[in-house]
A and B are shown apart, each in its own frame.
Chain A
């Protein structure tokens, strides 16, 4: 029995087999099989959160989502991502929360708060590990983090930036932080690290904008070139800031290569609200859904699912979030699903492109008048 919102619930009824979910290879499920499993898992999880998160239960009731009905993946109710910003949504007793994750909101913005218990955190880490292994092997690698070690200082309340670093550090044999606490490039430390692991495969990780601003630009200004030919760069965290500086993905890759020699560069799409099950960019330039999550794009007019090739609002689904009701989230991003199971890279699952944030338009009305 567990206690939520003053009500006791039976928890024994639902026993999703996480071992089974996590056992498979990350890109091994074909369409038919994945659909069936996801429908079943996500239906069960919807029921679980209904019983363990009071506001979520109220929502389902108000939206008239019937209890005990087998839902298709498309029918699983969606939680708008903005709700995590000022509501505290959890499906475990507060005492079970072992980490509170925050999104990497820009200064002044409200951040999402995601409550993780040890199980959910473990599932998410496992998912990340096996996605990573598919791209750069099982072997532990020297790990160059393009960030400051300070990001990890507060363990209780840590950001998506910290989570990314911690998550990827499971692939590391040894870690070097490329930036100081003042976000300055620590040339000495980096060069020593690269010298030590000369000719070795090196994993380089960071947030897109931080790599650009504090790593690439610092190198470019100093006119330095690092010896990182054997590096694999993984970066994520959105293009919004770079698009505002008119930096395209292609240009990013080219410029990074010009100062480091890295040619293996993978962007990924992910969010604090569903960590672990990130969507990695394959050598064909497509983002891939793994067995740990799925993606649906939806039409503005009625939220019906888009066809492949049609741009829509991105919904992400994952059976991993158990300590908070984040298994089906409507994001504020738009994208295009290109296809499923037939990317030339050979990975199974849907593959897609993110076209960007939903564009905000000026709202009419009399409430805010005095701007600009």
Chain B
């Protein structure tokens, strides 16, 4: 096996000893990282968002959640295998591992995105400073072939691993032996939906509508509508169709299409999207309603919700929509793969209650429109900090 490992930031052999979650050196280092990114890299959307996300005050908020007087310590070395086609995802994964009190090794693709490379560069520059000598021993970001010796070694030696990717990727990683006591956090394929209340949207001013459409754009187009958290399905919460609600829908999609003008729609994306649209038009059952807003936005209205709809997938700005009472719709749509529900004009508590009372298999996150991609220590129903640290039990 050829070893083509390239260390992009930090050191190859990281410190094996754990430390306390949210310890000061980590918070100070991440705060400095946040400042550096925000100072110089405003033009890269995802990188800038990551920089803003790991600011001190935000991480301190996370910290508060774990101030319950229970003693915690990290686990040692956490190995991360993030998805290569979500820009700077590795950064979020790394931060979660560090916050939980661990050293982190991260494998990124050698064909990684520009923003990933820039983040590595900034990380490495900071880690070379004398004041971060301690942090340097806790971080290793490297690129290598997927089946490299380094990846195998890291997997077999780590105290835990975090894997983001397709079901196939996760199955492959799972087949590699890891330590008996190692923990594993997997983030497999998911899909997401959005519930909109037409009455509330109908009463919005132009500015409010534009603002909401922009947030919806960020949830979807920014990641080519291909992230697990990007809604592909829109439920219009209305018992009955009326002229008014039809008008609201058109107004909403026009506002989204307007936002989508800034999307980088290449010829390739336009072709793939048109082909997908035609394929659905030719194969879906029942009377579907297609609307095209140039090639920026396609919508497919389904007359009914039947099983198997979790297989439908939009891409590059193509949405399925359905009108009906949201409880009925979610009940029919849900599967264990349903990740995020974004909403507008619905009470969050009602959604939570519905999921709990009906013992639904899916639904891991319920957030307002615009927050679909916001990373939180609770992700996909799992608690990064709790899993990647150990709690020392004692008699109370």
Q: Which residues of chain A have C-beta atoms less than 8 A from B81's C-beta?
A: 369-370
Knowing A62-B290, A79-B278, the reply to whether A366 touches B164 (Cβ < 8 A) is yes
A33 at the interface (CB under 8 A from B): no
Interface stretch of the complex, out of B62-70, B82-90, B318-326, B327-335? B82-90
A58 partner, pick from B169, B189, B268, B282, beta carbons under 8 A: B282
Q: Which of B101-139 contact A (CB under 8 A)?
A: 109-111, 113
Q: Which residues of chain A have C-beta atoms less than 8 A from B169's C-beta?
A: 368-370
B110 touches A372 (CB 8 A): yes
Interface stretch of the complex, out of B248-256, B269-277, B340-348, B363-371? B269-277
B172 at the interface (CB under 8 A from A): yes
Interface stretch of the complex, out of A6-14, A192-200, A255-263, A300-308? A300-308
A28→B315 CA distance, assembly (Å):
44
Q: Which residues of chain A have C-beta atoms less than 8 A from B84's C-beta?
A: 369-372
A364 partner, pick from B111, B224, B265, beta carbons under 8 A: B224
A17 at the interface (CB under 8 A from B): no
A372→B169 CA distance, assembly (Å):
12
State how many angstroms separate the Cβ of B253 from the closest Cβ of chain A. Answer: 15
A55 touches B109 (CB 8 A): no
A56 touches B282 (CB 8 A): yes
A366 touches B267 (CB 8 A): no
B189 touches A367 (CB 8 A): yes
Q: Which residues of chain B have C-beta atoms less than 8 A from A301's C-beta?
A: 265, 270, 294-296
A23 at the interface (CB under 8 A from B): no
Q: Which of B258-293 contact A (CB under 8 A)?
A: 265-271, 274-275, 278-279, 281-283, 288-290
Q: Which residues of chain B have C-beta atoms less than 8 A from A362's C-beta?
A: 85, 111, 113
Q: Which residues of chain B have C-beta atoms less than 8 A from A243's C-beta?
A: none
A64 at the interface (CB under 8 A from B): yes
Q: Which residues of chain A have C-beta atoms less than 8 A from B223's C-beta?
A: 364-365
A80 partner, pick from B165, B187, B269, B278, beta carbons under 8 A: B278
A370 touches B111 (CB 8 A): no
B174 at the interface (CB under 8 A from A): no
State how many angstroms separate the Cβ of A298 from the closest Cβ of chain B. Answer: 9
A364 touches B271 (CB 8 A): no
A58→B81 CA distance, assembly (Å):
43
B227 partner, pick from A87, A364, A368, beta carbons under 8 A: A364
Q: Describe B's contact surface by its main secondary structure.
A: loop
A257→B85 CA distance, assembly (Å):
46
| Count of chain A to chain B residue pairs whose CB atoms are closer than 8 Å in the complex | 139
Q: Which residues of chain B have C-beta atoms less than 8 A from A87's C-beta?
A: 279, 282
A59 at the interface (CB under 8 A from B): yes
B54 at the interface (CB under 8 A from A): no
Q: Which residues of chain B have C-beta atoms less than 8 A from A358's C-beta?
A: 266-268, 271
A369→B169 CA distance, assembly (Å):
7
A330 at the interface (CB under 8 A from B): yes
* A58, closest chain B residue (CB): B282
* B291, closest chain A residue (CB): A64
State how many angstroms separate the Cβ of A158 from the closest Cβ of chain B. Answer: 25
State how many angstroms separate the Cβ of A360 from the closest Cβ of chain B. Answer: 5
* A64, closest chain B residue (CB): B290
State how many angstroms separate the Cβ of A334 from the closest Cβ of chain B. Answer: 6
Q: For the A-B complex with A370-B146, A372-B111 known, give 17 more contacts whose Cβ atoms are closer than 8 Å.
A: A55-B282, A62-B288, A80-B275, A313-B271, A330-B271, A361-B266, A365-B85, A365-B224, A365-B228, A366-B86, A366-B226, A367-B166, A369-B82, A369-B164, A370-B84, A370-B168, A370-B172
List chain A positions with a Cβ less than 8 A from chain B.
55-56, 58-59, 62-64, 79-80, 82-83, 87, 300-303, 313, 330, 332, 334, 358-372
List chain B positions with a Cβ less than 8 A from chain A.
81-87, 89, 109-111, 113, 145-146, 164-166, 168-169, 172, 187, 189, 223-228, 230, 265-271, 274-275, 278-279, 281-283, 288-290, 294-296, 315
Q: Write 26 A-B pairs (CB below 8 A) sorted by A numbering.
A: A80-B275, A301-B294, A302-B294, A302-B295, A303-B274, A313-B270, A330-B271, A330-B274, A358-B267, A358-B268, A358-B271, A359-B266, A362-B85, A363-B85, A364-B226, A365-B228, A366-B187, A367-B165, A368-B165, A369-B81, A369-B83, A369-B84, A369-B109, A370-B81, A370-B166, A370-B172
